[in-house]
A = this chain, B = another copy of it.
């Protein structure tokens, strides 16, 4: 048939080769296209629309907590980047440098922002004078560039889209509260909108952000058992404030340093969305974040009344849901494949028999279940189905996470688990970096976080046998 020249091709099975399955899905569901620029991808309409939905919801949630959006420059003069010692050590090796502007060689080179702490600090130093102007709760939506050696779409790329919040507070206590408030906001957003359950915790000193006092993280578990750091929230204390001289006069007119935080979530989360929910037919998108929630497909376009009735429903349902209909001359099978590949949560089919019975046939993307729905209850039932798909995806992901957390009492047991069981392993730790490094070198697992929900699994660190201080989640990660 004419319309089917471009076939929906089969993708690699998920259990056969997870990495290839992922690459197949991101390209064949047309989320991304590889660009001519090394390490950078193009977000195609479906890929970008997912990000727009994430952005719209997250932005609203931010603003409800008093956050305001601003826009800072893309370029950072070298002297600014160098003001905070740990920060420059962490980022200088991976930035892109602009050395020529127009036709002149620059007297000071500029880097493309890898993150904007230094610019926000420079800005805050200028505008903050009095305790009355605190807190400052600014955020920006932008892209950043980090010169990565190996890249994968969404997961690690030279340029990526994100939001970065940067706040300044009068006290460290208030800053810490904001750090945790934003971490919780991210966690709730992932569960409620993306149907991704996460583990909340603190990064070890080795894994924390360059320049931070503490870094908090949410970690999600992918279908293949690897972890993915999904968002982070950093407490800076007054380290940056001292480097950049950001001071305010308090109620007694005494100059004090501010206490700062930053927090970010990036397009990386789309990688998590794919790897948590997707299956062998392609993407599965939770209804709350899906660019299209319902795909309407006529079964026989030439049969009298089918297209007209479907168009009526398209108009009606579009008032409440994000709907697309495909009236083209492609075969129903081709359209089903496309809807499945793109992860559209619900398909509504209208065939001659359906029309006769005054009903539609709904097909759930997550379970494949078919349900006949009378026209008289269509809108209500579709709403229920979408809600149920959203809930089911979260439940399924929750179960997957619970079933892939293991516990190691000895280092031998730990090594066996890491080698044989994809997932996360809990183990006690002495808080010394040597043991953390040894574990990473010997097993490939890194410390994901020191979870807020601590348990005692023993008195000693199983690696060095010194006193255990914390229980840590370990795992292989993206």
Q: Which A positions have Cβ atoms within 8 angstroms of B? A: 3, 5-6, 33, 35-37, 40-45, 47-49, 51-52, 68-77, 80, 93-103, 109-110, 112, 119, 122-123, 126-127, 129-130, 132, 138, 142-143, 145, 147, 149, 158-159, 161
Contacts and interface: CB of A to CB of B under 8 A. Distances in A.
B33 A130 contact: no
Contacts of A98: 96-99, 112
Contacts of A119: 35-37
A162 to B, nearest CB: 12
Nearest to A43: B71
15 contacts: A33-B123, A33-B127, A35-B72, A36-B77, A37-B110, A40-B74, A45-B68, A48-B69, A74-B74, A74-B145, A96-B100, A96-B102, A96-B110, A97-B100, A101-B147
Contacts of A72: 35, 42
Given A96-B101, A102-B94, A52 B69 contact: yes
Contact of A138 (B40, B45, B73, B130): B45
A118 B96 CA distance: 21
B73 A35 contact: yes
Query: Which of A71, A97, A112 has most chain B Cβ within 10 Å?
Result: A71
Given A41-B73, A48-B69, A100-B109, 16 more contacts: A3-B132, A35-B73, A35-B122, A37-B75, A37-B110, A37-B119, A40-B73, A40-B74, A45-B70, A49-B68, A73-B159, A74-B145, A97-B99, A97-B101, A112-B112, A142-B143
Contact of A126 (B33, B52, B95): B33
Copies of this chain in the oligomer: 2
Nearest to A72: B42
Contact of A74 (B5, B33, B102, B112): B112
A68 B47 CA distance: 11
A48 B123 CA distance: 15
Contacts of A158: 101
Contact of A71 (B48, B68, B101, B122): B48
Contacts of A75: 37, 40, 96, 145, 159
Contacts of A103: 93
Nearest to A328: B132
Contacts of A3: 132
A215 B133 CA distance: 46
A95 B99 CA distance: 11
A66 to B, nearest CB: 11
Given A37-B76, A71-B161, A130 B5 contact: yes
Nearest to A30: B127
Contacts of A100: 96-97, 99, 109
Contacts of A123: 33, 35, 42
A100 B71 CA distance: 25
A70 B132 CA distance: 41
B42 A71 contact: yes
Contacts of A71: 42-43, 47-48, 51, 143, 161
Query: Which of A98, A130, A143 has most chain B Cβ within 10 Å?
Result: A98
A70 B94 contact: no
A52 B60 CA distance: 13
Contact of A73 (B42, B47, B49, B68): B42
Nearest to A138: B45
Contacts of A44: 70
A193 to B, nearest CB: 19
A123 B132 CA distance: 50
Query: Which of A42, A119, A129, A138 has most chain B Cβ within 10 Å?
Result: A42
A129 B7 CA distance: 13
A77 to B, nearest CB: 6
A147 B102 contact: yes
Contacts of A5: 130, 132
Contacts of A93: 102-103
A83 to B, nearest CB: 11
